[in-house]
DNA sequence: GATGAATGAGAATTCATTCAT
DNA sequence: AATGAATGAATTCTCATTCAT
């Protein structure tokens, strides 16, 4: 409510992301988070009902930045090249998602937490803005109407493919989640592949 | 060493995968695992130096099945269609990876554990057999020499794209890790997309 | 001192009794009490040095009402019947004591608090008025001089018996402290018993 | 199960009664109890699901001794005098109940715990033995048939009166629950009063 | 080999109290 | 006077690990 309170809350959310990134979800204790935020442990509970709620808030705040970033993508249709636009969007996504990855992972892989997340309304949607898959899908539709992308492909499928691959790349074995640019070098080839396909002349779909 | 000992060890590994799948990594306690295996808690420490070693063993045993399964893929080059072969291989991969997903996730997202994994030699390689990316890459090379796949694409890149996308799909938000077939329906479209590409006539690479 | 301050103080005392009755002493936190009183938590400490002092004040305020109520009992000697007078007095006592029972219990059963209570001067005495045991004792003496009660019994003992039994009844297992009239039905028989005794013809005191 | 385990469990129950008596329910922490029992804090949770269950067990074990003690009372009908028999029984009750009083109080005055107690089946009944009120009631009936007690009084009412008064006496303000014999001196007069009554010649029931 | 009781170092959470506004 | 954010010590409970049997 007060200015000081809001500041503390923001510091706690930032500290949560930092600590989870540095030591992993399992070792992101309330003590460590409070320490990183420069407040007492008990202060956490003035701002969040419990630890999981703090993690949800942290994940949500990360998602929002990400969603806002992607919302402008459809407007780029027709400018530069399709490759460049997608590459750039995915690269931004990679950076933004980087520091909330462990959080998303934990939030999705712990059944108890997943259950609770569903109990909350609309987990990570910013009102009025399209979700990441939706934003990319709209961009592709716009390019399709310009003829820069084939009109007979399902833009939702492509969007899902790109995002899944990006997500998968971030988790590739050997990747250190705390290093600055883990698999960003893979984004270019990935985009080109999806644009051009690999089918040879001797092959045809069943 | 003895028959009884080996049986116990196997039961512990199976129990580990079961428990992690059911309650998530965070709640997969030694007590729960021992209970699921039908042994006393202390027995775990007769077979594994500590809990993390048990988890490594469980992950490794899952990977082995997976690697053995994929090893035969290159031999299928030329038979059926490329789409069918890849679809089938990815579908098998999906099933096999399903139940060790939370384990891999935890093992990759906990910095302390990741460090320790690197300290071990060759984490998940079966001697003599290619790793999954390598197996798919070899299959694609074989198909390229038959003309069923373009020869000018980097087969390693394609392999990485397919596996990353598959991995990403398994984690798509809303996916329940314990349900039988989460996103297997996405595999077909994914393969077709990668084979055909999406580039329209009005676009060309920069 | 000011009107507003006195009001707040009174509301805090009332809220304390309410909260203790509803959730029990152990869960009567300063937060809950402040909330029930409609003030901020910190306000408590403007009116009371600490939580225990607030509880003492609440208990004392309850005792005062009780003592004032009983003070008129001796004047009833000779009117109505002894049974009726005692029954009525005990019934009133039951009602008044009902909502400060948990408080008294906690205040008496916690050694640390009991010690502190003794350190305070004259815990629950209203200047000029007799304590409850004293009031009943005086009433009985008055009735004895009228011949309605035997003159050879120690009125203090009888008073103690009646009050102890009443207190004990209020705590009988299965009694829900928040229900309106727990064991008020037992008061009549109790009084008659004490008046008439139970000794048969074949028995005599040693 | 094992001998050592049973011993530990018994020590924990004894320690619980000791600690509660010494420092009061509110300060009977798991740490203090474990310390008094000479075990680690975690050991408590091998024997009891939680702290409340430990308290229930402690209260129950006390009740059992008490119930067994009183079960033989009816057999004393006709021997000695009624005064002596009742006095002695109440004195024993006083001693036995002394050390589980704070426990019973807390267990009865905390709504949350009371609720949970009802969820358990038959809180403090020893199979085959009469409850304390029942035992006294039976004794009185036996004396009534011998003519040593009036046959027209409700023995259950008398039993309730005696026990309530005893319970009330134990809690009399100023009584220190840790001192050896708090109000045992009151038992004799109490019994005589109940036997003889106080009604004078000039009074009669309405 | 197997058992399971015991350990003890934390973990999350609560709560009376303080203090800047 | 009142507020309510912040504190931090204390509390209950968990859990990987050890060890006597």
* Mean pLDDT calculated for residue range A163-180: 70
- pLDDT of res. D184: 79
Residues D4 and D84 in one domain: no
> Which whole-number Å values give the CA distances from A192 to A92, B151, B155, in the listed order?
17, 15, 13
* CB-based touch A/B (3+ pairs, under 8 A): yes
- Is the CB of C8 within 7 Å of strand F? yes
Residues D130 and D169 in one domain: yes
Is B202 contained in some domain? Answer: no
> Among A153, A10, D38, C108, which residue's Cα sits nearest to residue B193?
A153
Whether residue C176 and residue D114 make contact (CB cut-off 8 A), yes or no, is: yes
Share of chain A above pLDDT 70, in %: 85
Separation in Å: E7 C1' and B86 CA: 53
The mean-pLDDT minimum among B145-159, C106-120, D115-129 falls in: D115-129
- pLDDT of res. C175: 47
Closest approach of C6 to chain D, Cα-based (Å): 29
pLDDT tops 50 at residue B16: yes
Separation in Å: F18 C1' and B48 CA: 14
- pLDDT of res. D73: 94
Closest approach of A201 to chain B, Cα-based (Å): 6
pLDDT tops 50 at residue C41: yes
Is A201 contained in some domain? Answer: no
> Between residues 38 and 77 of chain C, which touch chain D (CB distance below 8 Å)?
none
Separation in Å: E6 C1' and C142 CA: 67
Separation in Å: F17 C1' and D39 CA: 17
**Helical pair A82-98 and A187-196, crossing angle rounded to 10 deg:** 140
- pLDDT of res. A63: 84
**Domain termination site, one of D29, D48, D67:** D48
The pLDDT mean for chain D works out to 84
- pLDDT of res. A118: 74
Of B109, B189, B194, the CB nearest to A177: B109
The answer to whether B79 and B38 are in contact (CB under 8 A) is: no
**Backbone φ, ψ for residue B149 (5° rounding):** -140, 145
Chain C contact set for D200 (CB, 8 A): 143-144, 147-151
Is B12 contained in some domain? Answer: yes
Residue-wise DSSP of D19-32: HHHHH-GGG--HHH
* CB-based touch B/C (3+ pairs, under 8 A): no
The mean-pLDDT minimum among A86-95, B171-180, C119-128 falls in: B171-180
Chain C contact set for D160 (CB, 8 A): 169, 172, 186
Q: Which nucleotide is nearest to B37 (CA to C1')?
A: E2
* Mean pLDDT calculated for residue range A176-190: 69
The answer to whether B67 and B51 are in contact (CB under 8 A) is: no
Containing domain of residue B23, as a range?
Answer: 1-48
**Backbone φ, ψ for residue A199 (5° rounding):** -65, 135
Long-range contacts, stretch A153-161, CB < 8 angstroms, 24+ apart = A153/B193, A153/B196, A153/B198, A154/B189, A157/B186, A157/B189, A157/B190, A157/B193, A158/A194, A158/B193, A158/B198, A159/A133, A159/A134, A160/A133, A160/B169, A160/B172, A160/B186, A161/A194, A161/B165, A161/B189, A161/B190, A161/B193, A161/B194
Of A109, A151, A199, the CB nearest to B24: A109
The CATH code of the domain that includes A112 is 1.10.357.10
- pLDDT of res. D69: 86
* Mean pLDDT calculated for residue range D49-78: 90
Residues B57 and B44 in one domain: no
Chain C contact set for D188 (CB, 8 A): none
pLDDT tops 90 at residue C40: yes
Four-residue CA torsion sign, B142, B143, B147, B153: negative
Task: Tell me which of C171 and A186 has the higher pLDDT.
Answer: A186
Whether residue A198 and residue B197 make contact (CB cut-off 8 A), yes or no, is: yes
Whether residue C200 and residue D24 make contact (CB cut-off 8 A), yes or no, is: no
Chain B contact set for A153 (CB, 8 A): 193, 196, 198
Chain B contact set for A124 (CB, 8 A): 173
Task: Tell me which of B144 and B114 has the higher pLDDT.
Answer: B144
Which residue in the block uniquely carries the two structure tokens 């301050």?
A: C5
pLDDT tops 90 at residue C48: yes
pLDDT tops 60 at residue A46: yes
pLDDT tops 60 at residue C124: no
pLDDT tops 90 at residue C201: no
**Cα C33 to Cα A34: distance, rounded to the nearest angstrom:** 28
| Inter-chain contacts counted by CB atoms under 8 A, chains A and B | 223
- Is the CB of C2 within 7 Å of strand F? yes
pLDDT tops 70 at residue D58: yes
pTM of the model: 0.85
Q: pLDDT tens, B38-60? A: 999 999 999 999 999 999 999 88
- Which residues are CB-neighbours of A169 under 8 A, at least 6 positions away? A182, A183, A186, A187, A190, B160, B164, B168
* Number of structural domains chain A divides into: 2
* Mean pLDDT calculated for residue range D193-202: 72
**pLDDT-derived band at D175, boundaries 50, 70, 90:** very low
Residues B128 and B153 in one domain: yes
- Which residues are CB-neighbours of A165 under 8 A, at least 6 positions away? A190, B161, B164, B165, B168
Q: Which nucleotide is nearest to B28 (CA to C1')?
A: F15
Residues C72 and C136 in one domain: yes
Separation in Å: E8 C1' and D43 CA: 10
Which residue in the block uniquely carries the two structure tokens 């630890």?
A: A51
The pLDDT mean for chain C works out to 84
The answer to whether A109 and B98 are in contact (CB under 8 A) is: no
Is B114 contained in some domain? Answer: yes
- pLDDT of res. B201: 61
Q: Which of C138-142, C189-193, D22-26, D124-128 has the highest mean pLDDT?
A: C138-142
Which of B164, B178, B179, B187 is the best residue to mutate to test the A interface, defined by the most A CB atoms within 10 Å of its own CB?
B164
pLDDT tops 90 at residue C205: no
Chain B contact set for A150 (CB, 8 A): 198-200
Share of chain D above pLDDT 70, in %: 83
Is A77 contained in some domain? Answer: yes
Of B113, B147, B167, the CB nearest to A168: B167
Q: pLDDT tens, C59-69? A: 888 888 888 88
Q: pLDDT tens, D183-193? A: 678 898 889 88
> Between residues 110 and 169 of chain B, which touch chain A (CB distance below 8 Å)?
110-114, 123-124, 140, 143-144, 146-151, 153-154, 157-158, 160-161, 163-169
* Mean pLDDT calculated for residue range A141-158: 90
The CATH code of the domain that includes B30 is 1.10.10.60
Is B204 contained in some domain? Answer: no
Residues A67 and A163 in one domain: yes
| Inter-chain contacts counted by CB atoms under 8 A, chains C and D | 226
For residue A53 the two structure tokens come to 């709620």
Q: Which helix (H) or strand (E) holds A195?
A: helix A187-196
Q: Determine contact: C83 vs chain D, CB below 8 A.
A: yes
Chain A contact set for B169 (CB, 8 A): 160, 164, 168
Residues D10 and D74 in one domain: no
Residue-wise DSSP of D23-83: H-GGG--HHHHHHHHTS-HHHHHHH-SSHHHHHHHHHHHHHHHHHHHHTTGGGGTTSS-HH
For residue A55 the two structure tokens come to 């993690």
Chain C contact set for D105 (CB, 8 A): 105, 109, 171
Separation in Å: F1 C1' and A49 CA: 30
* Biggest distance spanned by C-alpha atoms of chain A: 69
With distances taken from each CA to the C1' atom of nucleotide F6, the closest residue turns out to be A43
Task: Tell me which of B198 and A133 has the higher pLDDT.
Answer: A133
Share of chain B above pLDDT 90, in %: 43
* Biggest distance spanned by C-alpha atoms of chain B: 69
Is C158 contained in some domain? Answer: yes
Which bases in strand F are touched by protein, i.e. have an atom under 7 Å from a CB? 1-20
Q: What angle do CA A165, A169, A172 make, to 5 degrees?
A: 135
* Mean pLDDT calculated for residue range B106-112: 79
- Is the CB of B112 within 7 Å of strand F? no
Q: Which of A28-32, A171-175, D144-148 has the highest mean pLDDT?
A: A28-32
- pLDDT of res. D151: 87
Residues B99 and B190 in one domain: yes
- pLDDT of res. A34: 97
Separation in Å: F20 C1' and B37 CA: 24
| Binding partners of A (≥3 Cβ pairs within 8 A) | B
* Mean pLDDT calculated for residue range A8-17: 95
3-state secondary structure at position D177: coil
Residues D30 and D102 in one domain: no
The answer to whether B24 and A111 are in contact (CB under 8 A) is: yes
**Backbone φ, ψ for residue D199 (5° rounding):** -65, 135
Residues A62 and A153 in one domain: yes
Of A84, A160, A193, the CB nearest to B158: A193
Task: Tell me which of D123 and C45 has the higher pLDDT.
Answer: C45
**Domain termination site, one of A33, A48, A63:** A48
- pLDDT of res. A200: 62
Four-residue CA torsion sign, B19, B21, B22, B26: positive
pLDDT tops 80 at residue A2: no
pLDDT tops 90 at residue B126: no
The pLDDT mean for chain A works out to 85
Separation in Å: E7 C1' and D102 CA: 30
pLDDT tops 70 at residue B182: no
- pLDDT of res. A97: 84
> Which whole-number Å values give the CA distances from B124 to A14, B20, B68, B104, B175, in the listed order?
36, 19, 12, 11, 26
The answer to whether D165 and C120 are in contact (CB under 8 A) is: no
pLDDT tops 50 at residue D180: no
* Mean pLDDT calculated for residue range A103-118: 80
Separation in Å: E5 C1' and D93 CA: 36
Q: How many residues does chain C have?
A: 206
* Mean pLDDT calculated for residue range D58-79: 89
pLDDT tops 60 at residue B103: yes
Which residue in the block uniquely carries the two structure tokens 């202390």?
A: B42
pLDDT tops 70 at residue A78: yes
- pLDDT of res. B175: 47
Four-residue CA torsion sign, B45, B49, B51, B55: negative
- pLDDT of res. C173: 55
The mean-pLDDT minimum among C79-83, C196-200, D191-195 falls in: C196-200
Task: Tell me which of A68 and D110 has the higher pLDDT.
Answer: A68
Give me the C residues in range 91-110 that sit within 7 A (CB) of strand F.
Answer: none
**Cα C140 to Cα C77: distance, rounded to the nearest angstrom:** 8
Residues D80 and D163 in one domain: yes
Is A202 contained in some domain? Answer: no
Rounded to the nearest 10°, the torsion over CA C77, C81, C82, C83 is -150
Closest approach of C148 to chain D, Cα-based (Å): 4
The answer to whether A133 and A160 are in contact (CB under 8 A) is: yes
- pLDDT of res. B186: 85
- pLDDT of res. C21: 87
The mean-pLDDT minimum among A120-129, D29-38, D139-148 falls in: A120-129
The mean-pLDDT minimum among B28-32, B81-85, B99-103, C45-49 falls in: B99-103
With distances taken from each CA to the C1' atom of nucleotide E5, the closest residue turns out to be D5
Residues A10 and A74 in one domain: no
Task: End-to-end CA distance of chain D: give it in Å, rounded.
Answer: 62
The pLDDT mean for chain B works out to 84
């Amino acid at each position: 409510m007060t200015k000081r309170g809001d500041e503390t809350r923001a510091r706690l959310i930032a500290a949560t992301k930092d600590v989870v990134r540095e030591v992993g979800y399992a070792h992101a204790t309330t003590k460590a988070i409070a320490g990183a935020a420069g407040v007492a442990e008990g202060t956490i509970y003035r701002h969040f009902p419990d630890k999981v709620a703090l993690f949800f808030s942290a994940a949500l705040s990360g998602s929002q930045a990400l969603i806002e970033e992607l919302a402008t993508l459809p407007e780029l249709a027709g400018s530069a090249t399709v490759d460049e636009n997608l590459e750039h969007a995915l690269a931004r996504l990679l950076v933004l998602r980087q520091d909330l990855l462990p959080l998303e992972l934990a939030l999705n892989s712990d059944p108890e937490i997943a259950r609770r997340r569903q109990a909350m309304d609309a987990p990570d949607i910013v009102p009025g803005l399209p979700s990441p898959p939706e934003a990319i899908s709209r961009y592709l539709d716009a390019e399709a109407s310009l003829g820069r992308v084939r009109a007979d492909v399902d833009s939702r499928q492509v969007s899902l493919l790109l995002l899944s691959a990006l997500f998968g790349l971030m988790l590739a074995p050997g990747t250190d989640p705390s290093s600055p640019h883990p698999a960003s070098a893979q984004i270019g080839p990935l985009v080109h592949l999806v644009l051009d396909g690999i089918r040879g002349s001797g092959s045809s779909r069943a």
